Amino acid sequence: MNKAKFPVYDISSISNFTKDDIMISRFAPYLAVHKNLLLPHKHDFYHLVLFTTGAGSHVIDFQSFPVNPYQIYFMVPGQVHSWNFKGPVDGYVINFSVSFFNSFLHHADYLSQFAFFDGISTDQVIDIPENAQNRVGNLFEQLIAESESPGRMGADMVRVLMLELFITISRLQNEKPMTELLSYNYTLLKNFQQLIDKNFTKLRMPHEYAAMLYITPNHLNALCNDVLGISAGEVIRRRVTLEAKRLLINFKLSITEIARQLNFQDNSYFTKFFKKQEGLAPEEFRKSLKQE
């Protein structure tokens, strides 16, 4: 693993086509230009890849997935990921900012309606069934054509095609019925997870989030146990642990700096917390990354 400064790419540094914060490309030429993306890195934008040919593995937030043809990956800003391909690969890649997609929609956070944009690795890797591969492939071809030779209102056409793609993929997922997805409890859980993302370095107790959601701590805990199978406190702890792992992969950061960024009182408290969650100390986790 490269011990240089850990790379975090913005959309302008990763592509020559940055108009309206959107980049669309076939994957093989994209990878040929950005071979450094094989190493662990982060993006500050949404990253979408569909493979049509190839093999190997893809690691998202320390969870490995095999690469297969007609498999689609969705990644959200801040996630750590890396590739390990076996032989040639091809497909399509789309990089886009949140502001690009939401700029013509009334919904302030439209992407949150799609499970594959929830930042949970297991929801972000989807195998497209054979009977849907042509339709999905055609949508990507239309996106490629529109990005290479945009017509009148080209940016809006790209947004419309992307929305059709997202809805198509969402319908392919083994999700709960839409009536249940839009239920009060589902909305409450999503709001809880979004609040954690914004506040996990400062707020660590379930009752603090329950107050922000205008519910009791018991209600929040019961909701998490019913839907996720874990307590509300464990949901918070797992988010803190994930961020710790994302920071530990940057070898230029000391354990002291990481503990400080995560708002732990001192190194020993951070080490105790991390070891309880992961079964090994932060330095041991970091050493295991160097051996990969």
Identity of the residue numbered 286: R
Helices (H) and strands (E) in the chain, counts: 12, 10
Q: Are residues 168 and 188 in the same domain?
A: no
Q: Are residues 81 and 191 in the same domain?
A: no
- Number of domains making up the chain: 2
Query: What pTM, to 2 d.p., does this model score?
Result: 0.76
Residue 3 in domain: no
Domain range enclosing 271 = 181-290
End-of-domain residue from the set 137, 172, 207? 172
Q: How far apart are CA 201 and CA 255, in angstroms?
A: 16
Segment 43-72 shows an average pLDDT of 92
Q: Are residues 13 and 130 in the same domain?
A: yes
pLDDT at 181: 45
Q: Are residues 208 and 168 in the same domain?
A: no
Do β-strands 8-9 and 42-43 pair in parallel, antiparallel, or remain unpaired? parallel
Segment 187-215 shows an average pLDDT of 93
End-of-domain residue from the set 128, 152, 172? 172
What's the mean pLDDT when you consider all of the chain? 86
> CA nearest 246: which of 76, 90, 95?
76
End-of-domain residue from the set 150, 172, 194? 172
Q: How far apart are CA 206 and CA 193, in angstroms?
A: 12
Q: Is the pLDDT of residue 1 over 60?
A: no
Q: How far apart are CA 282 and CA 12, in angstroms?
A: 33
> CA nearest 193: which of 163, 165, 230?
230
Q: Are residues 26 and 142 in the same domain?
A: yes
pLDDT at 41: 85
Q: Are residues 276 and 247 in the same domain?
A: yes
Q: Are residues 131 and 207 in the same domain?
A: no
